[in-house]
Structure 1
Amino acid sequence: MITGVNTVVVWVLDQDSAKTFFTEKLGLQARADVPFGEGVRWVTVGPENEPELQLSLMVPGAPVQDAEAAGQLRSLLAKGALVGCTFTVEDCHAAVEELSARGVAFLQEPHPKPWGISATFRDDSGTCHELLQPHQ
């Protein structure tokens, strides 16, 4: 039986740049940055209050994809066609204000949805993420 989620992959174009974006702009904690085979690194970040959850910042390529698939994935990243994570926040309006001050560019300002108040932004690789203030 599944008991939780440990790791979620977020595809990125550059691990160093993504690590900086997710830690310095979004405020996540750096968790791991270790070699993981020839020319590959295992880079993870996560929210301070959820130590069991980590986002793996993965660059397309070996050992996960062949060269053709990696190229297709990089192309989708460059086009901004990928959807990433939904991050929960207590106050979506305040979070957008704080993250905007840190340089995060929002595609959609906070607005009501049936499941809460939502705002959308892209990370530095082009992946679209959501901030969500769930209904209480």
Structure 2
Amino acid sequence: MISKVGQIMLYVNNQDEAVSFWTEKLNFAVISEENNGQGMRWIEIAPKKGAETSIILHNKAIVAKMSPELNLAAPSLMFFTENLENLHKELSSKRIKVGDIVNMPSGKVFNFADNEGNYFAVMEKINNF
């Protein structure tokens, strides 16, 4: 039986730029980095505070060669924050492309784009999560 989501694979064109985006602009931490010595490198990142799930940054071109049948599109991810307005202002000040804050039945939400144009969403969750 599956008990939780462990890792999410994110296939990127430039791993170093992706690491910089997530760590410098979103304050994620690098958890680990592996390299098999044959071109396959993966970097595990996660929010610095309380993350149970991490993101693995893979080189899209290398994975496409190894497994051409895989769907390498960015996953649709929803992140949570306790203060949506502050995060929206912070990301905007860092020149990250952000969408408008929208009121949804489940709470306030906005989207943002990474340095490769992949969009992700953030929802305000005030409860302990």
Which category of TM-score, normalised to the shorter sequence, fits these structures?
0.7 to 0.9
2:105 to 100, 106, 114: 114
Task: Find the residue that maps to 1:22 and give its secondary structure.
Answer: helix
CA RMSD in angstroms comes to 2.4
Q: Note the alpha carbon deviations across 1:36-65, whole angstroms, 9 max, x for none.
A: 351111111101223542100112244x43
Task: Find the residue that maps to 2:3 and give its secondary structure.
Answer: coil
> 2:40, 2:65 → 1: CA distance?
14
Partner residue in 2 for 1:79: none
Name the amino acid aligned to 1:118: V
Q: TM-score, normalised by structure 2?
A: 0.83
Task: Find the residue that maps to 2:77 and give its secondary structure.
Answer: strand
Task: Find the residue that maps to 1:65 and give its secondary structure.
Answer: helix
| Aligned-pair CA distance for 1:125 | 1.4
Partner residue in 1 for 2:64: 65
Q: Does 1:55 align with 2:55?
A: yes
Q: How many residues align?
A: 126
> 1:131, 1:2 → 2: CA distance?
25
Q: TM-score, normalised by structure 1?
A: 0.80
Structure 2, unaligned runs of 5 or more: none
Change (3 A) 1:84 1:22: farther
1:35-54 equivalence runs, <5 A: 35-54=35-54
Conserved 8 A contact 2:13-2:61: no
Conserved 8 A contact 1:36-1:42: no
| Aligned-pair CA distance for 1:83 | 4.5
| Aligned-pair CA distance for 1:105 | 1.2
Name the amino acid aligned to 1:39: G
Partner residue in 2 for 1:100: 92
Change (3 A) 1:98 1:38: same
Task: Find the residue that maps to 2:44 and give its secondary structure.
Answer: strand
| Aligned-pair CA distance for 1:67 | 7.0
> 1:132, 1:52 → 2: CA distance?
17
